[in-house]
Amino acid sequence: MLKPYACVACEKVILAKDNVASLISLFNKIVLIVPTGAEIPKNAVSPYQWAVFSIWDTEPGDELKHYVLCTQILYPDGTQFAEIVKQNIVIEPAKRAQMVAQFIGFPVGQLGDYTVLTWIELEGHKVFGPIDFKLGVELLRQEPSPAKVAN
């Protein structure tokens, strides 16, 4: 049975030729800087590329099973953002299984803690998890700078 070794959010994952992962810019919070008085729609999405990287310890025989990694993101109010990402896990004997769930945008329409859930399914049934962690969205209001007048 697969067991989690690590599960984190980062800006980018680079896999070297030897399949060693480099995680770039791990994060747990996004701070939005917006002008005072600006409204952010509840369904706003920032064009921020990011990923959820997970690595799993395996046992003999796991390479014969068809595990699926599922990743879900919930808004602070508990509603779901986008679709659940489902990926087949490729397992090699005596190696850890690494997975990268890529996202093109990050939801920013609600302030507070977003929940990232990651779990493993086998034959359509949850067999491990979920692992969950929080990613915060904070708002920093900024007064517009005064316009400069050309002389």
Q: Is 59 contained in some domain?
A: yes
Question: E strand or H helix at 82, and its extent?
Answer: strand 80-88
91 vs 109: CA distance, rounded Å: 37
Q: What is the pLDDT of residue 127?
A: 97
Which tens digit of pLDDT belongs to each residue from 18-66? 889 999 999 999 999 988 888 999 999 999 999 999 999 999 999 999 9
> For residue 67, is it within any domain?
yes
Does residue 145 lie within any of the structural domains?
no
Which pLDDT tens digit goes with each residue over 119-143? 999 999 999 999 999 999 999 988 8
User: What is the reported pLDDT for 107?
Assistant: 95
Residue 38, domain member (yes or no): yes
Number of domains comprising the chain: 1
CATH of the domain at 38: 2.60.40.10
pLDDT at 144 over 80: no
> Do the domain assignments include residue 144?
no
Task: For residue 35, give its domain range.
Answer: 3-139
Indicate the range of 43-57, 67-81, 84-98, 135-149 predicted with least confidence: 135-149
Q: How far is CA 29 from CA 5, 112, 133, in A?
A: 22, 9, 11
In a domain, 8, yes or no: yes
Distance of alpha carbon 98 from alpha carbon 55, whole angstroms: 4
Mean residue pLDDT across the chain = 93
- Name which of 70, 55, 57, 54 is nearest 1 in CA terms: 57
> What is the pTM (predicted TM-score) of this model?
0.89
